[in-house]
Amino acid sequence: EVQLVESGGGLVQPGRSMKLSCAASGFTFSNYGMAWVRQAPTKGLEWVATISYDGSSTYYRDSVKGRFTISRDNAKSTLYLQMNSLRSEDTATYYCTRERLRVMDAWGQGASVTVSS
Amino acid sequence: DIVMTQGALPNPVPSGESVSITCRSSKSLLYSDGKTYLNWYLQRPGQSPQLLIYWMSTRASGVSDRFSGSGSGTDFTLKISGVEAEDVGVYYCQQGLEFPRTFGGGTKLELK
């Protein structure tokens, strides 16, 4: 069974940093691209970043470029999202997703991030 | 960026009725490989999104055959034949053609 389990969320002050992790199991992690998608309270889904299966390519939405870094450790089957210079508009539930052939076919349960003083 | 626009449903919908959810993209999602990169997801209340339909018309594993996807390069439809209680939630379309990946605003389905 495919499982994606996010961790590392919580309350953080504006301007500070936070790192999310996503532990993957039930599939060969190194064969799949991975992505982060977020959902602000009561809002819709918003793609944040994608990383290729081997980490050689990364893509970001404009509003997080230069502040967020997506990375992966294939030996540990873990995906990361390093978030720096956090803003109130980054407050959301962050979902880890598996992406293959342009389809997000598995989702984690989400990690809540609240940016507030 | 490709803009995805979804239509609304005449909620609440009577159980057993068939409904269609529409989605329009600002650019054709038909790629040179012949695939149309339009995906549909359902987010049930309090849950994570789940994949329903990918590449416009291919049902994901384990998804009921009451769900079907169709469309052209820019206009798409998700049809639910005979809505049931478990279908309640918000439906999202998403384009996988290019980055940034973009989602529609969501279409809420409520049952009468």
Q: How far apart are CA B58 and CA A36, in angstroms?
A: 23
The pLDDT value recorded for residue B105 is 98
Q: 């293959």: which residue's tokens?
A: A100
Q: Which strand (E) or helix (H) includes residue A113?
A: strand A111-115
Interface of A with B (CB under 8 A): 35, 37, 44-47, 50, 59, 61-62, 95, 102-110
Q: Mean pLDDT over residues B67-91, rounded?
A: 97
Question: Which of B39, B54, B99 is facing A50, going by the closest CB pair?
Answer: B99
Based on the number of CB atoms within 10 Å of its own CB, is A114 exposed (0-12), middle (13-18) or buried (19 or more)?
middle
Determine whether the interchain pair B94/A46 forms a contact, defined as Cβ–Cβ distance below 8 Å.
no
CA distance B7 to B97: 21
- Among B55, B102, B105, beta carbon nearest to A47: B102
User: What pLDDT was estimated at residue B2?
Assistant: 98
Contacts of B97 in chain A (CB under 8 A): 102
CB–CB of A104 and B41 under 8 A?
Answer: yes
Q: What is the DSSP letter of A63?
A: G
Closest CA to B37 of A100, A53, A30: A100
The pLDDT value recorded for residue A113 is 98
How far is B10 from chain A, CA to nearest CA, in Å? 19
Q: For the segment A58-70, what is each residue's pLDDT rounded down to a tens digit? A: 999 999 999 999 9
Residue A19, Cβ neighbours under 10 Å: how many? Answer: 13
Please tell me what DSSP assigns to residue B60.
P
Q: Radius of gyration over alpha carbons of chain A, in Å?
A: 13
Q: Which residues on A lie below 8 Å from B32 (Cβ)?
A: none
**Cβ distance of B99 and A109 shorter than 8 Å:** no
Does residue B57 belong to the interface with chain A, where contact is any CB pair within 8 Å?
Answer: no
The answer to whether the CB of B39 falls within 8 A of the CB of B94 is yes
Please tell me the predicted confidence (pLDDT) of residue A57: 98
Nearest to residue B28, comparing CAs of B71, B70, B74?
A: B74
Amino acid at site B4 = M
Residue range B2-20: average pLDDT? 96
* B73: contact with A, CB 8 A cutoff: no
- Tens place of pLDDT per residue across chain A (117 aa): 999 999 999 999 999 999 999 999 999 999 999 999 999 999 999 999 999 999 999 999 999 999 999 999 999 999 999 999 999 999 999 999 999 999 999 999 999 999 999
Q: CA-to-CA distance for A38 and A9, rounded, in angstroms?
A: 12
Query: Which of B38, B47, B101 is the best mutation test for A, with the most CBs of A within 10 A?
Result: B101
Mean pLDDT score across all residues of chain B: 97
pLDDT of residue B55: 98
